[in-house]
Every structure is written in C-alpha cells, then in structure tokens.
Structure 1
Amino acid sequence: MDLKYIGYTFTVEPKEPATEILIAQLGFAGFESFVEIENGVTAYIQEGDWNADILKDIQILNSDEFEFEIKEEVIEQTNWNSEWEKNFSPIQVDDLVSIRAPFHENLNLKYDIVIEPKMSFGTGHHETTHMMVQHLLNIDLTGKKVLDMGCGTGILAIFAEMKGAKPVDAIDIDNWCYLNSLENVERNNCEHISVFEGDASLLINKKYDVIIANINRNILLNDMQSYMDCLNNEGVILFSGFYQEDIPIIDAAVSKYDFKIETIIERNNWVAIKYKK
C-alpha cells in the first residue's frame, strides 16, 4: 500500500514573519516537509500522523495580524517526489555556489552543496540562508573553528567546511533538524563537522573563530552572552534571521561587547550582518 501524505497550502498576508512562525508551529504538530511558495507555504504530514483537529493548536492561525487561506489535499506517494522536483529548484549564489537536491544535475560551479531539506529550514531559497552564503564567500575560513548555531539542514556548516573550516560544530534544538543535518553532512562527504542537538547551553567552555547564527531576533538577543563568551579574540560573528528594522535592536545588544558592523547584506527586507571587534 502506498504511503499517503496530507498537504495543506497556506496563503498568508503579509507573508513574513508569519510563514517562519507557521513552519515552526506546524513542525511541532508533526508536519515533516515544507515547501515555501510565493505567498505562503505548503506543508505535508503523513496520513498516519494526521487527525481532523491537527490545526486546532496552531496559534498563529488565530492571530489578528495575518490573514490566512488554507487548502487541503491528499497526496499519493507516487506523486511525492514529483512534488519536490516541481517546487524545489536548484539555486545559485553569485555564480560560485550551487545548492541543489540529490535529484538535480550538478551545475558545475566552484562549490556544489547537495541538500535534502525534509522539514528543516535552510534550503538556500530563504533570503537569510542565501545572504549568509554570500558572507561566507567573502571570509577566509581556512583552518578556522566555526559554529553554525541553529543549523537547520546543516547547509552553512557544510559550506564552511568546503571553504576550509575545521573543526565545525553544527547545533540545532530541533530533533528533525539534527537528524537531517547528520544526513546532509554525510551526503556532502564532510569530515570535520560535528552535529549536536541542543541549545546555547552546549557552548559552555567552547571557543570559535567564526560564529554563524541564522535564527531569529529574540533568540539572538537571549543567547548573545553565550555567543560572545565563546568567540575568540579577533573573531567574526554573522547574524541573520531578522528584518532591516530590527538592526538597531540587534546592534545595541552587540555593541555592548565592542563589536561593530563591518558588512550588511539586505535581501527583500531581510538582513545578514557581519560583526567584528
């Protein structure tokens, strides 16, 4: 018997930050795969894990700040891979980095990252991941010890190793992201990445030359002390996961530690900032 999935397509206005919050809440409810679309997201859950009240506890759907339209469909397993192929197209970053699924052809760029995202955040399609890759392109990572905090699919840790970083620690609090990162690290033949399941408490007594944290504003602010405590002198921090209007809030927190903005990349109102002392 073919495995069936239930698919929900959520269109939302405004799209952000609603989509990011929605994906997180659906993940906790048991949804295992997400495909971002132009005006929202399509989420998938195995039929055996589904129930008629599955959306009852998804709090953001009851928010007055956003308007949602929801469509539901049953998807046969025979159509599942075609759904990925239809919706997950390979991307290029600055004509140097290709990010693709295993079923895509190699684009023969300098760096080729193969990611099977499942439910994990970080396919490269989201603005924040794309910008972080751009930042990493401009940093010499040879022999540098790197932390990828909130690693999602592990894409940024994988790229860091491709650029010569070692060792690399990748941490995510979500079990599915942890498992997905392990798979993707192996898929890309990485030898210097250690993946951990947990939060900033794992950073005690650790030291890094470069910290990558693509999470969200509130978590960045909450864990700022932990990041600063484990950064080596002359270290670099890359922060993303927030909007242009959040820059003063993030900058006020970072500047307390004598770090200053070196480079800002902006994409569709999302930003990624490189900080140095």
Structure 2
Amino acid sequence: MDPCYNSLIVKADNFLWLLKDKALEITKEAIEEIENGFIIRTFSDVRDIRLELQNFTKNIESVMGQEISLEFKEAQEKNQDWIEKYYHSVSPLEYGKFYIHPTWYANKKEKINIIIDPALAFGSGHHGSTFGCIKMLDSLALENKKILDVGCGSGILSILAKKCKAEVWSCDTDSIAVESTQANMLKNNVTIDTIWQGSLEMIKEKEGYFDVVVANILADVLIALPLDRFVKKGGVLILSGILEKYESKVLDKFKNLKKLNGETIEEWVTLAFNKN
C-alpha cells in the first residue's frame, strides 16, 4: 500500500451538487462531503482533476448565467484509515416511514430500509431536491400504483416506490445512472419493473398510464419534457431540481395542472400537481 495519497479540497458557493457529481464521475472514487464543499482523496495527480473541475465550472456558469466562486486546496497526506473516516462522515437519513442508509449501517426493523451507498449517480437523499421528493412520495399511498421515475439517478426514488409495493418504471439518459439504479436494486432486494437508458420518447404508448410521475431534474429539462402527458387523470406529478428563481417558469409550464403542494429546501423547490 502506498504510504501517501493526494487530497483535493473543493469549495463552491453555488451548484455544489453538480460539482460533486462531476468529481465522482472523474475520479470513480468515493468523496467526503464537508461544509460548502467536498474532499477528493486519490493516488492520481489532483492537478488534472482540478483542471477538469475548473472547465466544468465554466460550462455551468455559461449555461446557468451565474458566477461560481471556486476554491481549491491541495495536499499530500499519510495513507491512514481515511476510508473508515469517510464511512463515519456519511450519515443515514430518516423521514416518515423511510430509513435511507449506506451498507455499513444496520437496518431499522420498524422502518422501510433503503440502502444507497455514495456512488457516481446523484441521489443519496440528503440533497434538498431529493429530500423534497421523498417527502412528497411519503404523503402518497403508493401500493399497487404505477410510478414513473424520470431521471432516476441512483434509483433511490424508484426503490422507495418499489418497497411501497408499486409498479415502477425508471429511466435516465445517463448510462452510469441506469447501472447505479440496477446495482442498488440488487442491494435492496427489489426488481424495478421496467428500466431503460433514454427518455420519454421510448414509451410514447404509455401516455396517461401512470398514477405518479416523479422527475428530479434541472428546471430547463423539466420544462422541455411532456411529463404531464404520462400522468393519468386524477394522478400526481412531482417535480424537483428547481432553483427558487426558476419556480415561476415551471409553474407556468404546468399551469394546466392543479398545484397540490410546494416546498423549498435549501433553495431547491419541489412541486406536486394533480391532473384533473
């Protein structure tokens, strides 16, 4: 074992979750979350990682029209039980009847346990948008309902619905997300009914089929997709991944639906609609 490893501390004042997801994609290693940032530990040269993150940040700024203050700190440290330290830094999440935790935490007998290890695909439950979706789903009776999870990421919402005895369909345009969802299915001993890489154009024949459609994606993508078409009459559409300043745009897109609920968690808005 190498006596030392390289560490890169990354801090940002905006779009931190996108940077974290990119860091996971670049390194293919677990990272440790800290306040306003994260730590990458690797035996690779962190200068290349830093350059990729800087270029990615420029792309985010261009797309979002917002500046991001980015800070880096590089160091070389002794290779001592940092993996164990990392394990202790990842905390479980408990809400309502759900207990979401990594594999190194024990199940809770009185809860619906959902096992999600930190990985390349976004979605451990802690992010405001994911947590908002969990809260909305917890308020619904999902048993025997048909659920569509668009942009499934880690599969956390799909697995949650499946453990509530729903029929679940899941998709993501990212192959890593689909693979992550499939891996997490096995960890949770569930089988999602239909999963595919791609988007809604592949299931056009299922318009009006689903009792609940949930999509935790960025606002511009939500607006571009015909998500409401796939909700049956009387069904529910749950949308998240919406920064507060874009909420009005999303509300305008889906003004044909009745707004049931809305909640903001750490500047991320989650909305629920009913299709009459």
Q: Which residue of structure 1 lines up, in the alignment, with residue 107 of structure 2? A: 106
Q: Which residue of structure 2 lines up, in the alignment, with residue 184 of structure 1? A: 184
1:26 matched to 2:23: yes
1:25-84 deviation line (CA, Å, top 9, x unaligned): 43554544344322123345663xx57433324335455712222123457886353143
- CA distance in 2 between partners of 1:82 and 1:73 (Å): 19
- The answer on whether the counterparts of 1:185 and 1:193 sit within 8 Å (CA) in structure 2 is no
Deviating more after overlay: 143-152 vs 193-202: 193-202
Q: Name the CA shift for 1:261/1:154 in 2 (closer, same or farther; >3 Å).
A: same
- 1:186 positional shift: 1.1
Q: Name the CA shift for 1:104/1:133 in 2 (closer, same or farther; >3 Å).
A: same
Q: Name the CA shift for 1:134/1:70 in 2 (closer, same or farther; >3 Å).
A: same
Q: Name the CA shift for 1:173/1:34 in 2 (closer, same or farther; >3 Å).
A: farther
Q: Which residue of structure 1 lines up, in the alignment, with residue 265 of structure 2? A: 267
Q: Name the CA shift for 1:205/1:83 in 2 (closer, same or farther; >3 Å).
A: farther
Letter in 1 for 2:265: R
- Map residues 190-229 of structure 1 onto 2, 5 A cutoff: 190-206=190-206, 207-223=209-225, 225=226, 227-229=227-229
- The answer on whether the counterparts of 2:21 and 2:122 sit within 8 Å (CA) in structure 1 is no
Q: Name the CA shift for 1:80/1:145 in 2 (closer, same or farther; >3 Å).
A: farther
TM-score by length of 2: 0.85
- CA distance in 1 between partners of 2:173 and 2:242 (Å): 19
- CA distance in 1 between partners of 2:263 and 2:110 (Å): 22
- The answer on whether the counterparts of 1:157 and 1:193 sit within 8 Å (CA) in structure 2 is no
1:70 matched to 2:65: no
1:128-161 deviation line (CA, Å, top 9, x unaligned): 1112111111111121111111111111001111
Please give the secondary structure, in 1, of the residue aligned with 2:131.
Answer: helix
Q: Name the CA shift for 1:119/1:179 in 2 (closer, same or farther; >3 Å).
A: same
Percent sequence identity is 26
Q: Which blocks of at least 5 consecutive residues in structure 1 are unaligned?
A: none
- 1:190 positional shift: 0.8
- The answer on whether the counterparts of 2:6 and 2:75 sit within 8 Å (CA) in structure 1 is yes
Q: Which residue of structure 2 lines up, in the alignment, with residue 12 of structure 1? A: 12
1:160 matched to 2:161: yes
- 1:104 positional shift: 0.7
- CA distance in 1 between partners of 2:198 and 2:39 (Å): 27
- 1:4 positional shift: 8.6
Please give the secondary structure, in 2, of the residue aligned with 1:84.
Answer: helix
Aligned positions, number: 266
- The answer on whether the counterparts of 1:117 and 1:180 sit within 8 Å (CA) in structure 2 is no
- The answer on whether the counterparts of 1:93 and 1:134 sit within 8 Å (CA) in structure 2 is yes
- CA distance in 2 between partners of 1:150 and 1:6 (Å): 33
Pairwise CA RMSD: 2.6
Q: Name the CA shift for 1:151/1:5 in 2 (closer, same or farther; >3 Å).
A: farther
- CA distance in 1 between partners of 2:193 and 2:2 (Å): 36
Letter in 2 for 1:201: E
- CA distance in 2 between partners of 1:38 and 1:215 (Å): 23
Q: Which residue of structure 1 lines up, in the alignment, with residue 36 of structure 2? A: 39
Q: Which residue of structure 2 lines up, in the alignment, with residue 149 of structure 1? A: 150
Letter in 2 for 1:218: D
Q: Which residue of structure 1 lines up, in the alignment, with residue 90 of structure 2? A: 88
- The answer on whether the counterparts of 2:12 and 2:71 sit within 8 Å (CA) in structure 1 is yes
- The answer on whether the counterparts of 1:153 and 1:184 sit within 8 Å (CA) in structure 2 is yes
- 1:179 positional shift: 1.4
- CA distance in 1 between partners of 2:3 and 2:176 (Å): 20
- CA distance in 2 between partners of 1:80 and 1:35 (Å): 10
- The answer on whether the counterparts of 1:203 and 1:230 sit within 8 Å (CA) in structure 2 is no
